[in-house]
Amino acid sequence: MEPIKTWQQKLTSGINSLAEEFGLDDGSASRMREFVFQIAKDQYLAGNRSGIRWARTQGAKSAS
């Protein structure tokens, strides 16, 4: 049975496949990986802040 891949492993695998397909050297592939993971992190944090804000407003409505 194959272990379940995490989203990070899937993303890394996809980036590595693209880097190979585009013929990128190791430095360029590493830079692309850093770029994609930074965007993913930024989007996660933005979504998390939105979720917290939503939960607080819902809690305030419930308390009223």
Position 64 in a domain: yes
Position 61 in a domain: yes
Task: Convert the pLDDT of each residue in 21-44 to its tens digit.
Answer: 999 999 999 999 999 999 988 888
Taking the model in full, what pTM does it have?
Answer: 0.67
Cα–Cα distance list, 55 to 2, 32, 34, 48, 49 (Å): 37, 35, 31, 11, 10
Confidence of residue 55 (pLDDT cuts 50, 70, 90): confident
Position 11 in a domain: no
> What domain count does the chain have?
1
Structural domain for 46, as ranges: 40-64
Position 19 in a domain: no
Position 13 in a domain: no
